Each structure stands twice: as structure tokens, then as C-alpha cells.
């Protein structure tokens, strides 16, 4: 590790100036990712500006509806907040599925958004990696790539974004508030993250010295019917292989609006616009014995699904329609040598989450 | 680069100079001789370095000591009042919630912090009703303690100990 200067920021603007003016400077949140990277040699800053003590530790309702989440709010406090649990269950569930309780008690909102990929080569400085050291090559492309991307990757990098919270925020159309040298601006979270292209070293569109100050959630009634589901190697304390965040709105027996995002599939949380389009208008069959009625959110969906009695206009069942919506999104998926399993896993998780939400909708109507 | 910091550790204010790169775990163990928090993985992956930091359970291996100047830290050692053990510690003994004991101080601190979170009504990943107060059944205990690994696999008795400690 290089010698390191540490400063506790007391003023946001001065913090921005301090980092923007020094190439080796970085902001420090709780350090649960950055301190790991210091130890591993992945990050080599010469100055840390600790922004975790700035007065960004509040969760406040916004005048026009929605919530403002301060950048320094801890993941555990956000997940436990009554308004989040009530109005944005997808966000509470995503947070609670991430890391461990004693990490969530530390981890900040901004740090969570800007945590870096868990690609093992990225974290191992003895191996080539374009994200860590541009131009050295991608070790995962022909190496161990079980956890890597199937959507939107490039020959330069096939890493996935690790944050669960960001997947939920993507489905909620959150906006990220940023203070930079040029003043304040707002970036929709769907535009915060980049695909790797030929610059995999850049995870986001942020510039050096840009400070995240808050995340804004819009008032979104349908978000009360939302859920997050994460599939991984063990039941807890592991990163996602695949995850799905979704919210739906049903009127008069049909889906009128749906929002879905995938985690674990791409270099950024993957908003599934095509699937959303396909979901609109899907009739929710509520006949007794219908597949929706018997679906349990915990059980994996058997290939082909159970026989359905409730048929939709095209003669298809709701579950078939859900599967078709997932397939519309996954049509462009390109697996690597070791991760083809992610495609059916993503489809099945999508169907399971939507089915669970539709069942809930049915139960509350 | 060095910095002078103050930490209140198990009830006692301590002043020390640390290199800015020193983690809270190393400051406790190597500089202050407080060795009940254990270094298992040093990467946030095992929970053996868990303490109560300003009243909440937290890992100490990924926290910089300078960033916690002025903090209040309670380790497993500080949970006991001399020979008088904390109810959760007593439960670990009575239920045989350990084998080698390496993970135990972290387990105990984590359990104490966890019971406070339950009291505050915090949900977990397995809580069915996000709105309601959680009920601490075995599934909840397992999920809420999933940040503490035990290489000896003493899990069944750890769950039993926490069940007892929660009463
Ligand atoms: C063992 C382990 C398991 C984990 N499992 C999961 C998991 O399953 N799911 C998941 O989502 N996450 C997981 N995590 C990651 C964890 O969520 C992140 O480490 C944490 O959210 C980062 O927050 P932090 O405050 O510690 O950020 P830091 O480590 O302090 O910072 C991370 C990055 O954000 C930058 N930064 C911090 N604050 C700001 C700001 N205000 N403005 C601009 N830049 C800023 C820093 O410069 C740094 O680049 C895991 C971590 C560990 C160690
Ligand atoms: S996938 Fe990306 S992060 Fe992983 S080795 Fe390749 S370039 Fe590096
Ligand atoms: S030593 Fe801190 S989590 Fe393993
Ligand atoms: S008792 Fe040995 S590691 Fe848990």
C-alpha cells in the first residue's frame, strides 16, 4: 500500500475540490469495498476524503411524493425505514439480500452504487484485466467466466455489476444527485452506468471528483407491488448469479404497467424494456386451478409449467406470456463458456417473480 | 502517514497514533492488545472480527481506524462484567455453541447486535411481512447470523444458544 493521506470532509464543495484537483484522490464511504481494494492493490489512492460524515444521512419524503435518500445513509437503515418497506418493498428486499448485516450497518448508499465488480481477475493484480489496467487484456473472456455477463458485454470486458440495491433503484427509475466542479446535476440511474465497450475501466458516466449527495425515488404507486429475488450459490451472504427486480400494475384483469430489471447479467443493472413492453396487456387469468393460483414464489418453475385452464386471447396461459416476455428480453443474450445456465435461470426467476406479484395483486383485489 | 485518534474500547478511552492505512481490527489487536475480535479472512467475508461499533454490529477488518476517531467499541470481552457473563455468552457456554472458539467472539457480538435489530423491528431477507414486527424463529436466526461463518460447523448449537439468549 502507498502512503495515504486521510481527511474527514466537513464541507461538500471543499471535498469535491480536494478530489477533483488531485488524480490520486478518492472519496471514502464506509470503506467496505475501497479498503478491500487498498489491501488487494486494486486501488492505489494517495488521498482519501472521507465523505461518510457529511450531513447526507437522512431519508426524507419529497414534497411532490417520493423519497430523498442521503448518500451517507447506511444500507441497513435504508432497508429498515418504514416508508421504504411500505412503498418500495423491492428496495428493502434488494438491500436485505446483499452482503451481511454487519456490512450493511456500515455500507453507504453512494458506496453501494459505486462498488466495483467482483470479477476475480479484477481483484487479482497478478492477472491481466482491462478494467483494472486498460490494454492488458481480459482474463475472464477465455478463463473462468461462470459469474460473468450474458448481455451487453464486449470483447474487452465481460464483468457484471455486483450491486443488488442498484437493480432495485433501476426498476424504480431513481435519480442520482451529483455535486461536481461545475455544480449540481441529476442523473437518471438508468444512465449512470455504462456498458464496457472499449472503456471497461469506466463503470459509470461520473467524472473524477463527482460527489454523489443523494438518490431520489419518484412517487410511484405501483412500487408498492414490487419484489426482488436473488439466485446464488448459497442462501445468503453471496453475490447474485441472477437477480430480478419487478413492479407491476394490474387493472381489470390485465397488466397495465410493468417494470423489470435484471442483476447479474450485465455490466450494469439491466432494465428490461422489451420484456416490459411484452408484459403490457397480458391477461391475468384468475380461474381456479390456474398456474398463477398454484404458483409458490419459493418453488422453482418446472420447465413447461403446470397445465393451465385460464387461457388468454391468443390461446396462451399467463405463465406462457410471462415466459415469452422474458424471452423477448433475453433473445440477444450471448453466453460465455461457463455461464450459459444464466439464461434459463434469468427466465425462470423472471417468471417466478412476476407470478408472485400477480398472485399478490389477485389476493389484494 | 500517522494520525492520533481516540477510541473508547470496552468502556475505556484509549489514545493512539495509527498509520492512516491501519484497519480498526489491526488497531485493536496489534496496537491496543484487544484480541477478542479475530482476524479470519481480513476481507469482510467471515464475520470473526465483528464488534459493536457505536452500538451496532460491524466488521472491523474493512474499516479504517482513522475514520472511526471518537468511536465507542464493545468487543466480546467488554460484554461481560468481569466474571459475570452476558446472557448471550452464557447461552453459548450452556448450549455448547462452539468448538475451537475462533469465531465465537464475533458470533457473540453479532448475536447481541442482532437481538437489538430485532427489537427495533428490522426485517430480514426471510421476513414474510415487511411491515410487521419480525418473529425470531430458527430460519430468522440463521439468516440474521449468516454474516458469521464457523469453520467448525457449530451452527446447530449456535442457533440454540441464540434462541436461549433471546429469551
Ligand atoms: C463479503 C462481502 C459481501 C458482499 N456482498 C454483497 C452483495 O451480496 N450485494 C451487494 O450489493 N453488495 C455486496 N457487497 C458490497 C457492499 O455492498 C459494498 O462494499 C458497499 O455497499 C460499499 O459501500 P461503502 O460505503 O463501504 O463504500 P466504499 O468502499 O467506501 O466506496 C466504494 C466506492 O464508492 C466511492 N464513493 C463512496 N462514497 C461516495 C460519494 N458520496 N460520491 C462519490 N463516490 C463515492 C468510493 O470512492 C469508492 O470508489 C459485499 C461486500 C463484502 C465485503
Ligand atoms: S471481465 Fe472485465 S473485470 Fe474481469 S478480467 Fe475481464 S476486463 Fe477485467
Ligand atoms: S476478518 Fe473481518 S470479516 Fe473476516
Ligand atoms: S467454533 Fe471453530 S470456527 Fe466456529
Q: What nine digits make up the cell of B93? A: 457456554
Residues B9 and B69 in one domain: yes
Give the pLDDT confidence score for residue A123 in this predicted structure. Answer: 98
Which DSSP category does A222 fall into? G
Which overall architecture, per CATH, does domain A225-364 show?
2-Layer Sandwich (3.30)
Q: At what angle do helices B87-94 and B104-119 cross, to 10 degrees?
A: 130
pLDDT digits (tens, 9 = 90+) for B85-98: 999 999 999 999 99
**What φ, ψ does residue A192 adopt, rounded to 5°?**
-75, -45
Determine the 3-state secondary structure of A70 from DSSP. strand
The residues, any chain, with a CB within 8 Å of residue A150's CB and separated by 6 or more, are A265, A266, A330, A333, A334, A335, A336, A339, A340, A342, A343, A346
Ligand 1 centre and the CA of A260: distance in Å?
Answer: 24
Which overall architecture, per CATH, does domain A1-50 show?
2-Layer Sandwich (3.30)
Domain count, chain B: 2
A303 C-beta neighbours (distance < 10 Å), count? 8
| Cβ–Cβ below 8 Å for A79 and B144 | no
Name every protein residue with a CB atom under 6 angstroms from any ligand 2 atom: A 117, 119, 121-122, 129-131, 138-140, 148, 157-159, 200
Determine the 3-state secondary structure of B114 from DSSP. helix
Residues B108 and B62 in one domain: no
Residues B95 and B151 in one domain: yes
**pLDDT exceeds 60 at position B37:** yes
pLDDT along chain A (365 residues), means of 10: 92 98 98 98 98 98 96 98 98 98 98 98 98 98 98 98 98 98 98 98 98 98 97 97 98 96 98 98 71 45 41 74 98 98 98 95 62
A236 contact residues in B (CB cutoff 8 A): 125, 142-143, 146
| Cβ–Cβ below 8 Å for A106 and B20 | no
pLDDT digits (tens, 9 = 90+) for B43-59: 999 999 999 999 999 99
Residues B13 and B72 in one domain: yes
CA distance A269 to A257: 20
Look at the alpha carbons of B116, B122, B127, B133 in this order and tell me if their dihedral is positive or negative.
positive
Residues B129 and B148 in one domain: yes
CA distance B64 to B150: 25
Q: What nine digits make up the cell of A99? A: 452482503
Q: Where are the domains of chain A?
A: 1-50, 225-364
Could you tell me which residues of chain B have a Cβ less than 8 Å from any Cβ in chain A?
1, 3, 20-21, 23, 42-44, 47, 50, 53, 56-59, 62-64, 66-67, 69, 110, 113-114, 117, 120-125, 127, 130-131, 142-144, 146-148
Angle at B47 between CA B43 and CA B51, to 5 degrees: 110
CA distance A86 to B158: 33
Q: Which helix (H) or strand (E) segment is A230 a member of?
A: strand A226-231
* Residue of A360, A362, A253 lying closest to A311 (CA atoms): A253
Range A187-191, long-range pairs (CB < 8 A, 24+ positions): A189/A215, A189/A269, A190/A271
What is the ipTM, given to two decimal places?
0.98
Determine the 3-state secondary structure of B129 from DSSP. coil
Q: Which helix (H) or strand (E) segment is A6 a member of?
A: strand A5-8
> pTM for this one?
0.96
CA distance B143 to A303: 29
Interface of A with B in 19-78 (CB under 8 A): 28, 30-32, 35-36, 38-39, 48, 50, 52, 76
Q: Give the CATH number for residue B14.
A: 3.10.20.30
Question: What is the per-residue DSSP string for A243-287?
Answer: EEEEEEEEETTEEEEEEEEEESSSSS-EE-HHHHHHHTT-B----
Q: What nine digits make up the cell of A317? A: 396461459
B70 contact residues in A (CB cutoff 8 A): none
Task: Answer with the one of B28, B50, B79 that is the final residue of a domain.
Answer: B79
| Cβ–Cβ below 8 Å for A6 and B3 | yes
Residues B75 and B91 in one domain: no
For residue A112, which ligand has an atom nearest its CA? 1
Give the pLDDT confidence score for residue A317 in this predicted structure. Answer: 86
Residues B12 and B63 in one domain: yes
pLDDT digits (tens, 9 = 90+) for B5-21: 999 999 999 999 999 99
Residues B52 and B28 in one domain: yes
Residue B58 domain boundaries? 2-79
Closest Cα in chain A, distance from residue B96 (Å): 24
Residues B6 and B74 in one domain: yes
User: Strands across the sheet with A242-251, in order?
Assistant: A226-231, A242-251, A254-263, A270-271
Residues B70 and B108 in one domain: no
What is the average pLDDT score of chain B? 97
A105 contact residues in B (CB cutoff 8 A): 53, 56-58, 113
Amino acid at each position: 500500500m502507498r502512503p495515504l493521506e486521510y481527511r474527514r470532509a466537513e464541507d461538500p464543495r471543499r471535498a469535491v475540490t480536494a478530489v477533483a484537483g488531485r488524480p490520486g484522490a478518492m472519496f471514502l464511504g464506509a470503506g467496505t469495498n475501497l479498503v478491500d481494494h487498498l489491501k488487494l492493490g486494486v486501488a492505489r489512492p494517495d488521498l482519501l476524503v472521507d465523505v461518510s460524515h457529511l450531513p447526507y444521512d437522512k431519508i426524507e419524503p419529497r414534497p411532490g411524493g417520493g423519497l430523498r435518500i442521503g448518500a451517507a445513509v447506511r444500507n441497513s437503515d435504508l432497508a429498515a425505514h418504514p416508508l421504504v418497506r411500505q412503498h418500495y418493498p423491492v428496495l428493502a428486499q434488494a438491500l436485505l439480500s446483499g452482503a451481511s448485516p454487519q456490512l450493511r450497518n456500515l455500507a453507504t448508499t453512494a458506496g453501494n452504487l459505486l462498488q466495483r465488480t467482483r470479477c476475480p481477475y479484477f481483484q487479482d493484480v497478478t492477472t491481466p484485466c482491462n478494467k483494472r489496467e486498460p490494454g492488458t487484456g481480459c482474463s475472464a473472456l477465455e478463463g473462468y467466466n461462470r459469474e460473468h455477463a450474458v448481455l451487453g458485454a464486449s470483447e474487452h470486458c465481460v464483468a457484471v455489476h455486483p450491486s443488488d440495491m442498484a437493480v432495485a433503484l433501476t426498476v424504480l427509475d431513481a435519480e442520482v444527485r451529483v455535486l461536481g466542479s461545475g455544480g449540481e446535476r441529476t442523473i437518471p440511474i438508468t444512465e449512470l452506468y455504462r456498458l464496457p465497450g472499449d472503456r471497461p475501466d469506466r463503470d459509470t458516466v461520473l467524472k473524477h471528483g463527482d460527489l454523489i449527495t443523494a438518490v431520489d425515488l419518484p412517487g410511484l404507486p405501483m412500487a408498492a407491488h414490487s419484489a426482488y429475488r436473488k439466485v446464488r450459490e448459497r442462501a445468503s451472504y453471496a453475490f447474485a448469479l441472477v437477480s430480478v427486480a419487478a413492479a407491476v400494475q394490474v387493472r381489470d384483469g390485465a397488466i397495465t404497467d410493468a417494470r423489470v430489471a435484471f442483476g447479474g447479467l450485465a455490466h450494469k443493472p439491466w432494465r428490461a424494456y422489451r420484456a416490459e413492453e411484452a408484459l403490457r396487456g397480458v391477461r391475468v387469468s384468475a380461474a381456479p386451478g390456474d398456474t398463477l393460483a398454484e404458483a409458490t414464489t419459493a418453488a422453482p418453475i418446472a420447465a413447461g409449467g403446470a397445465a393451465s385452464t385460464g387461457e388468454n386471447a391468443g390461446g396462451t396461459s399467463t405463465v406462457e406470456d410471462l415466459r415469452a416476455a422474458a424471452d423477448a428480453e433475453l433473445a440477444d443474450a450471448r453466453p460465455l463458456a461457463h455461464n450459459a445456465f444464466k439464461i434459463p435461470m434469468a427466465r425462470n426467476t423472471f417468471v417466478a417473480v412476476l407470478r408472485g406479484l400477480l398472485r399478490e395483486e389477485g389476493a389484494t383485489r | 502517514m500517522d494520525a492520533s485518534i481516540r477510541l473508547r474500547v470496552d468502556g475505556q478511552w484509549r489514545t493512539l497514533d495509527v498509520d492512516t492505512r491501519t484497519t480498526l481490527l489491526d488497531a485493536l489487536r496489534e496496537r491496543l492488545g484487544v484480541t477478542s475480535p479475530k482476524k479470519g479472512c481480513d476481507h469482510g467475508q467471515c464475520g470473526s472480527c465483528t464488534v459493536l461499533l457505536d452500538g451496532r454490529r460491524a466488521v472491523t477488518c474493512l474499516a479504517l481506524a482513522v475514520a472511526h476517531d471518537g468511536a465507542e467499541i464493545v468487543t466480546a470481552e467488554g460484554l461481560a462484567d468481569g466474571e459475570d457473563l452476558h446472557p448471550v455468552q452464557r447461552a453459548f457456554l450452556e448450549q455448547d455453541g462452539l468448538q475451537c472458539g475462533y469465531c465465537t467472539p464475533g458470533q457473540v457480538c453479532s448475536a447481541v447486535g442482532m437481538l437489538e435489530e430485532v427489537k427495533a423491528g428490522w426485517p430480514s431477507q426471510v421476513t414474510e411481512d415487511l411491515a410487521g414486527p419480525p418473529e425470531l424463529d430458527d430460519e430468522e436466526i440463521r439468516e440474521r447470523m449468516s454474516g458469521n461463518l464457523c469453520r467448525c460447523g457449530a451452527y446447530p448449537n449456535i442457533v440454540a444458544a441464540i434462541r436461549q439468549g433471546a429469551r
